[in-house]
Amino acid sequence: MPKTFSRLETKGKKALFAVSPELCKGCGLCIEKCPSQVLDWSTRIGIYGTPIVEPKRMERCTGCMLCQYFCPDAAIDVIRREKPRQQKEEAGGSKPK
């Protein structure tokens, strides 16, 4: 059976952001790569004895998922609340020509 990790979830308008304290090593890459400066250091300590990250400005989160893609330890899970525009158009059929 696959191991499951605890998650700290924060809901935003465009996405739900979740980080696992059992996976985050506090490298800071997600903070550096977030284009909207959503993420910052938390006061919580992760399993490696380093601070984990926290979305301190979740209202700015666009759900771009860059933080998830760049995290080397798969500690972040972003679940978008809306489908990207392209998927919406595909789901709604092609536009009249």
Distance in Å, CB of 86 to ligand SF4, minimum: 17
What is the nearest approach in angstroms of ligand SF4 to the Cβ of residue 50?
8
CA-angle at 83, arms to 29 and 4, nearest 5°? 55
Chain residues binding ligand SF4 by CB under 6 A are 15, 17, 19, 24-30, 34, 36, 38-39, 53, 55, 61-67, 71, 73, 75-76, 78
Among the listed residues 22, 76, 10, 24, the one whose alpha carbon sits nearest the alpha carbon of residue 52: 24
**Cα(8)–Cα(55) distance, rounded to whole angstroms?**
10
Question: Which is closer to ligand SF4, CB of 69 or CB of 88?
Answer: 69
